[in-house]
Structure 1
Amino acid sequence: MKKTISVIGVPMDLGQGRRGVDMGPYSIRYAGLKERIQRLGYNVHDQGNVNVPQAESHDIHDQKLKYLPEVTRVSEDLAEKVATVIAQDHFPIILGGDHSIAIGSIAGITQKHKKLGVIWFDAHADFNTEDTTPSGNIHGMPLACCLGVGHETLVNVAGFAPKIAPENVVIVGARSIDPEERNLLKKHGIKVFDMHEIDKLGIHRVMEESIRIAGEGTDGIHLSLDLDSIDPDMAPGVGTPVLGGVTYREGHFAMELLYQSGKVVSCDVVEVNPILDEHNKTARTAVDLVCSLLGEAVM
């Protein structure tokens, strides 16, 4: 891991339908993120937040792509900020906000790491487009956009597409995928380890294979960590909770294996919604998982 970490907040709630996720960066910081990481021996620079417009001050012009201009602008701004800290040889941790922020995160990271592997740790695949979406919420589209699938303005954030290749992408923890989205995933050859496979194979084998897919022949791995991947008993404060998720201990073991791989170059942490949380439990879980990713151990 890089010894200097830059934390970037993106208080984005335009990409999904349930308000409150814009407070996610604040709740994760409040849960002691910076202090915990510093205790591990890292230098931490908090770069503040990317400016995100309020939903109340903008109209929805397309029900299939809600807040498209606003999400695009934030993605462009985030891509620029991430590219700057990556160029300084920092390890970026991007705090959401909803998962649409990954469009900007990955756009920024791939300006240096041209061949980037991605592990998408999520209950959902986020592989919808305006043609398949049941909701019009862009937080259900970012992985597709990064692969060059979707609306041209989202696909071409930072001026190039695609950002990543399907053979270097793996989804872990999925348990809620829309029917047409499933067809798109199969069409593009995306490897999905759903909860059935985690139960059958065990998290150790799943993560070993995920690290191989995302890590072999790439410049590094980006972890996109959606807290709804974790079972709601430990992460209740998310916008779209799904029962039967990754356990707290499985999540930690997955992060520990990623740290041991030495391949992770960046991370975003998304969908923490303190309005729906219990005493900031989900944000504290997020901090615990990030610290395991950065090498925190019992011994």
Structure 2
Amino acid sequence: MFKKEVELFEFPTSLGLRKKRHEISPGVKDLPDWLRTLGFYQGMNIYDTFHLAAPKYLMDFNETTGLLNADHAIQYAKEQAFILHKQLHNDYFKLIIGGDCSVLIGTSLALKQKGTYALFFLDGHTDYIPSECSQTGGIAGMDLAVVSEYGEENLTNISGLKPYFEEDYIYCVGNRELTPSYVAPILNTNINYYDLNETRSTGTTSITQSFLQMAEDNALDGFFIHLDVDVLSDEIMPAVDSRAEGGLTYRELARLIRPLIYHPRCTGLEITTLDPSLDTTGEITRRFIKFFYDL
């Protein structure tokens, strides 16, 4: 699966999502335990494991900012970054298991403290919207905006580190929410943006080669991969918070990330939003695990 030994980080926050009426908290917080139960870690060359307990889930909505649980998410991101940053001095592959997409904020803080990195952002959404355009206020739907300095200052400039990633060093790949008002914000940036249709027309090989060349040309310290599993087709990955028709096949996803995870500049990868409560038989997750072991 990974050529390097792996340092595993479990960051099972669900603060970035608005819970459903029937939920006590969003089920993504159980993802690390679920993957362990189904054997994802077995056979993986894990050097060490780090765990930050899931924070208590709240519905703390700020009417002024339009954000849900922002202060609590910031605190979790700081704690997450503290743990991760201490390990960035070594060459182990960093595998982060969420949680929802807000874990990207803590990851980004740690990387920014270490140096200048690129981000390969795989998601079925852009996650690049202002809070006033969000229907839920959930930070998990704004994480790419936050880490590239678009949004509330308390989120985008934690510890005075904004921007956590430069726009030119971000590739956003796989969005299939194509409503003009939704994609308008990201189109007004220097982010390298490929929606699902453009990903297929451009070609996975061209996109990854372009990304790797960009990282080399700018002599970056490395790059990181964010994988929201809802980038996959709804037919094969329905166990997510925000479902939508279409999406990447496993073959297409493999073609995108295989050249990246085996590249010497790759620092690591984070997996987010797979909700065990939506996969009661484990069949969906087992297919996902097999995909990784076949890479």
TM-score normalized by the length of structure 2: 0.88
Deviations 1:88-112 (A, max 9, x none): 4432211111101100011112222
After superposition, the C-alpha distances for 1:226-247 in whole angstroms (9 at most, x for unaligned) are 1001112221211112221110
Instruction: Name which of 265, 268, 272 aligns with 1:266.
Output: 268
CA contact (8 A) 2:187 2:193 kept: no
Give how far 1:286 is off: 4.2
Encode CA deviations 1:6-35: one digit per residue, 9 max, x unaligned: 111112111112421111122222232322
Change (3 A) 1:177 1:76: farther
Query: What is the aligned-residue RMSD (CA, Å)?
Result: 2.3
- Indicate the percent of aligned positions where both proteins have the same amino acid: 23
With 208-217 and 263-272 compared, the bigger mean Cα shift is at 208-217
User: Which of 99, 102, 119 is equivalent to 2:101?
Assistant: 99
Alignment of 1:71-150 (within 5 A): 71-112=73-114, 114-150=115-151
- Amino acid in the other structure paired with 2:11: V
What pairs up with 1:173-212 in 2 under 5 angstroms?
A: 173-176=174-177, 179-212=180-213
1:2: how far off?
A: 7.5
Match of 1:37 in 2: 44
| Per-residue deviation, 1:285 | 4.3
Which residue identity is paired with 1:253? R
Residue 165 of structure 1 corresponds to 166
Shift of 1:180: 4.4
- Tell me whether 8-17 or 208-217 shows the greater mean CA deviation: 208-217
SS of equivalent residue, structure 1 residue 236: coil
Alpha-carbon distance between aligned partners in 2 of 1:215 and 1:181, rounded to the nearest angstrom: 32
Contact preservation (8 Å) 1:2, 1:90: no
Match of 1:28 among 17, 35, 39: 35
Report the equivalent of 1:52. 54
Deviations 1:234-293 (A, max 9, x none): 21211112221110111122222213433311211100101112522443344345446x
Which residue of 1 is the match for residue 248 of structure 2? Answer: 246
Note if contact 1:255-1:289 (Cα within 8 Å) is conserved in structure 2: no
Q: Point out the more displaced range, 229-238 or 70-79.
A: 229-238
AA matched with 2:142: M
Once the two structures are TM-superposed, the CA of residue 170 in structure 1 deviates from its matched residue by 0.6
Give, in angstroms, the shift of residue 151 of structure 1: 1.3
Report how far residue 179 of structure 1 moved: 4.3
- Distance, in Å, in 2 between the alignment partners of 1:177 and 1:138 is 20
| Bigger mean CA offset, 271-280 vs 196-205 | 196-205
Count of residues paired in the alignment: 286
Amino acid at match of 2:170: V
SS in 1 for 2:155: helix
1:277 to 276, 279, 285: 279
Structure 1 residue 214: deviation in Å? 4.8
> d(CA) in 2 for partners of 1:158 and 1:80?
12
Consecutive unaligned residues of structure 1, counting only runs of 5 or more, are none
Distance 1:131 1:148, change over 3 A: same
1: CA distance between counterparts of 2:187 and 2:196? Answer: 17
- Runs (4 or more) in structure 1 with deviation over 6 Å come to none
- Distance in 2 of aligned mates of 1:158 and 1:7: 25
1:9 counterpart residue number: 10
Kindly indicate whether the alpha-carbon contact (under 8 Å) linking 1:228 and 1:271 is maintained by their aligned counterparts in 2.
yes
1:215–1:13 CA distance, 2 compared to 1 (3 A): farther
Tell me by how many angstroms 1:190 deviates.
1.4
Contact 1:121 1:223 in 2 (8 A): yes
Partner-residue secondary structure (3-state), 1:99: coil
If the length of structure 1 is used for normalisation, what is the TM-score?
0.87
Q: CA separation in 2, counterparts of 1:286 and 1:221? A: 23
Change (3 A) 1:284 1:215: farther
